[in-house]
Amino acid sequence: MKIVIQRVSQASVTIKGEKVANINGGLLILLGIVNEDTQDDINWLCNKISNLRIFSDENGVMNNSLKDVNGDAIVVSQFTLQASTKKGHRPSYIKAAKPEIAMPLYKTFINQLEKSLNKKVQTGQFGADMKVALINDGPVTIIIDSKNKD
Protein backbone atom coordinates (compact mmCIF):
# COMPACT_ATOMS: atom_id res chain seq x y z
CA MET A 1 0.00 0.00 0.00
CA LYS A 2 1.13 3.44 -0.82
CA ILE A 3 -0.30 6.58 0.71
CA VAL A 4 0.13 10.28 0.24
CA ILE A 5 -0.68 12.19 3.42
CA GLN A 6 -1.37 15.89 3.22
CA ARG A 7 -1.79 17.97 6.35
CA VAL A 8 -4.70 20.24 5.56
CA SER A 9 -6.47 23.18 7.10
CA GLN A 10 -9.44 22.28 4.90
CA ALA A 11 -10.32 19.46 2.48
CA SER A 12 -13.37 18.14 0.69
CA VAL A 13 -14.47 15.55 -1.84
CA THR A 14 -17.24 16.25 -4.35
CA ILE A 15 -18.90 13.65 -6.59
CA LYS A 16 -21.31 14.71 -9.34
CA GLY A 17 -21.69 18.14 -7.77
CA GLU A 18 -22.44 16.77 -4.27
CA LYS A 19 -19.97 17.28 -1.43
CA VAL A 20 -19.56 13.84 0.19
CA ALA A 21 -16.72 14.65 2.61
CA ASN A 22 -15.53 17.83 4.26
CA ILE A 23 -13.04 18.54 7.06
CA ASN A 24 -11.49 21.58 8.69
CA GLY A 25 -8.07 20.58 9.93
CA GLY A 26 -6.51 17.15 9.72
CA LEU A 27 -5.25 14.81 7.03
CA LEU A 28 -6.22 14.06 3.45
CA ILE A 29 -5.01 10.52 2.75
CA LEU A 30 -4.74 9.22 -0.81
CA LEU A 31 -4.55 5.41 -0.84
CA GLY A 32 -3.15 3.17 -3.59
CA ILE A 33 -3.50 -0.62 -3.25
CA VAL A 34 -1.63 -3.48 -4.95
CA ASN A 35 -2.54 -7.19 -5.13
CA GLU A 36 0.10 -8.15 -2.56
CA ASP A 37 -1.28 -5.89 0.18
CA THR A 38 -2.47 -7.58 3.37
CA GLN A 39 -3.89 -6.86 6.80
CA ASP A 40 -0.30 -6.34 8.00
CA ASP A 41 0.09 -3.42 5.57
CA ILE A 42 -3.18 -1.94 6.80
CA ASN A 43 -2.24 -2.30 10.47
CA TRP A 44 1.21 -0.78 9.97
CA LEU A 45 -0.06 2.17 7.93
CA CYS A 46 -2.97 2.97 10.25
CA ASN A 47 -0.65 2.96 13.25
CA LYS A 48 1.81 5.17 11.37
CA ILE A 49 -0.90 7.63 10.27
CA SER A 50 -2.55 8.01 13.66
CA ASN A 51 0.75 8.53 15.50
CA LEU A 52 2.77 10.49 12.92
CA ARG A 53 3.90 13.69 14.61
CA ILE A 54 3.33 16.28 11.89
CA PHE A 55 1.14 18.81 13.73
CA SER A 56 2.61 21.77 15.57
CA ASP A 57 2.74 21.98 19.34
CA GLU A 58 2.49 25.20 21.36
CA ASN A 59 6.08 26.06 20.35
CA GLY A 60 5.46 25.62 16.63
CA VAL A 61 7.40 22.33 16.49
CA MET A 62 5.88 19.36 14.65
CA ASN A 63 5.43 17.27 17.76
CA ASN A 64 1.75 16.30 17.75
CA SER A 65 -0.11 13.51 16.00
CA LEU A 66 -3.56 13.55 14.44
CA LYS A 67 -4.82 11.92 17.65
CA ASP A 68 -3.14 14.60 19.79
CA VAL A 69 -4.87 17.44 17.95
CA ASN A 70 -8.16 15.53 17.56
CA GLY A 71 -7.97 16.19 13.83
CA ASP A 72 -10.18 14.68 11.16
CA ALA A 73 -9.29 12.57 8.15
CA ILE A 74 -10.54 11.92 4.65
CA VAL A 75 -9.44 8.76 2.81
CA VAL A 76 -9.61 8.74 -0.98
CA SER A 77 -8.86 5.63 -3.05
CA GLN A 78 -6.40 6.44 -5.82
CA PHE A 79 -5.12 3.60 -7.99
CA THR A 80 -2.89 6.04 -9.91
CA LEU A 81 -0.48 6.08 -6.93
CA GLN A 82 0.67 2.67 -8.16
CA ALA A 83 1.54 3.97 -11.63
CA SER A 84 4.78 2.95 -13.28
CA THR A 85 6.36 5.58 -15.51
CA LYS A 86 9.56 3.70 -16.40
CA LYS A 87 8.70 3.12 -20.04
CA GLY A 88 7.34 5.63 -22.51
CA HIS A 89 5.06 8.52 -21.66
CA ARG A 90 1.87 6.68 -20.79
CA PRO A 91 1.74 5.47 -17.16
CA SER A 92 1.10 1.79 -16.58
CA TYR A 93 -1.31 0.84 -13.81
CA ILE A 94 -0.65 -2.89 -13.97
CA LYS A 95 0.51 -2.95 -10.32
CA ALA A 96 -2.74 -1.45 -9.05
CA ALA A 97 -5.09 -4.02 -7.54
CA LYS A 98 -8.27 -4.80 -9.43
CA PRO A 99 -11.49 -3.61 -7.75
CA GLU A 100 -12.42 -7.07 -6.45
CA ILE A 101 -9.18 -7.10 -4.43
CA ALA A 102 -8.84 -3.38 -3.72
CA MET A 103 -12.40 -2.66 -2.52
CA PRO A 104 -12.35 -5.00 0.51
CA LEU A 105 -8.86 -3.78 1.47
CA TYR A 106 -10.00 -0.16 1.11
CA LYS A 107 -12.97 -0.79 3.43
CA THR A 108 -10.79 -2.64 5.93
CA PHE A 109 -8.26 0.21 5.85
CA ILE A 110 -10.99 2.73 6.69
CA ASN A 111 -12.36 0.58 9.52
CA GLN A 112 -8.88 0.06 10.97
CA LEU A 113 -8.05 3.77 10.76
CA GLU A 114 -11.30 4.60 12.56
CA LYS A 115 -10.30 2.19 15.34
CA SER A 116 -6.79 3.68 15.50
CA LEU A 117 -8.14 7.24 15.72
CA ASN A 118 -11.21 6.33 17.78
CA LYS A 119 -13.38 8.44 15.48
CA LYS A 120 -15.24 8.38 12.18
CA VAL A 121 -13.15 8.84 9.04
CA GLN A 122 -14.70 10.52 6.03
CA THR A 123 -14.17 9.07 2.56
CA GLY A 124 -14.59 9.58 -1.10
CA GLN A 125 -16.31 6.84 -3.09
CA PHE A 126 -14.28 3.91 -4.38
CA GLY A 127 -13.98 4.04 -8.18
CA ALA A 128 -15.87 7.31 -8.57
CA ASP A 129 -14.76 10.36 -10.52
CA MET A 130 -14.03 12.67 -7.59
CA LYS A 131 -13.10 16.31 -7.28
CA VAL A 132 -10.75 16.68 -4.32
CA ALA A 133 -10.13 20.15 -2.95
CA LEU A 134 -7.66 21.01 -0.23
CA ILE A 135 -5.68 23.72 1.42
CA ASN A 136 -2.36 22.09 2.24
CA ASP A 137 -1.22 23.32 5.66
CA GLY A 138 2.50 24.01 5.80
CA PRO A 139 2.67 22.60 3.19
CA VAL A 140 3.19 19.16 4.69
CA THR A 141 2.99 16.25 2.24
CA ILE A 142 4.41 12.81 3.06
CA ILE A 143 4.53 9.65 0.94
CA ILE A 144 4.60 6.31 2.75
CA ASP A 145 4.87 2.88 1.16
CA SER A 146 4.15 -0.10 3.42
CA LYS A 147 6.58 -2.16 1.35
CA ASN A 148 9.42 0.11 2.56
CA LYS A 149 8.80 -0.21 6.29
CA ASP A 150 12.13 -1.85 7.16
pLDDT at 56: 95
Map residue 27 onto helix, strand or coil. strand
* pLDDT surpassing 80 at residue 47: yes
d(CA 101, CA 36): 10
CB 116 within 8 A of CB 27: no
Sign of the alpha-carbon torsion through 37, 149, 115, 4: negative
Lowest mean pLDDT of 18-27, 59-68, 141-150, name the range.
Answer: 141-150
pLDDT confidence band for 25 (50 / 70 / 90): very high
Structural domains of the chain ordered from first start:
2-145 (3.50.80.10)
pLDDT confidence band for 133 (50 / 70 / 90): very high
Map residue 115 onto helix, strand or coil. helix
pLDDT confidence band for 149 (50 / 70 / 90): confident
Neighbours of 102 (CB within 10 A): 24
CB 71 within 8 A of CB 55: yes
pLDDT at 98: 94
Give the tens place of pLDDT for each residue, 98-108: 999 999 999 99
Q: Is 139 exposed, middle or buried (0-12, 13-18, 19+ CB in 10 A)?
A: exposed
Peptide bond into 91 cis (omega under 30): no
* pLDDT surpassing 80 at residue 17: yes
pLDDT confidence band for 65 (50 / 70 / 90): very high
CB 71 within 8 A of CB 27: yes
Q: Which residues are identified as catalytic?
A: 78-80
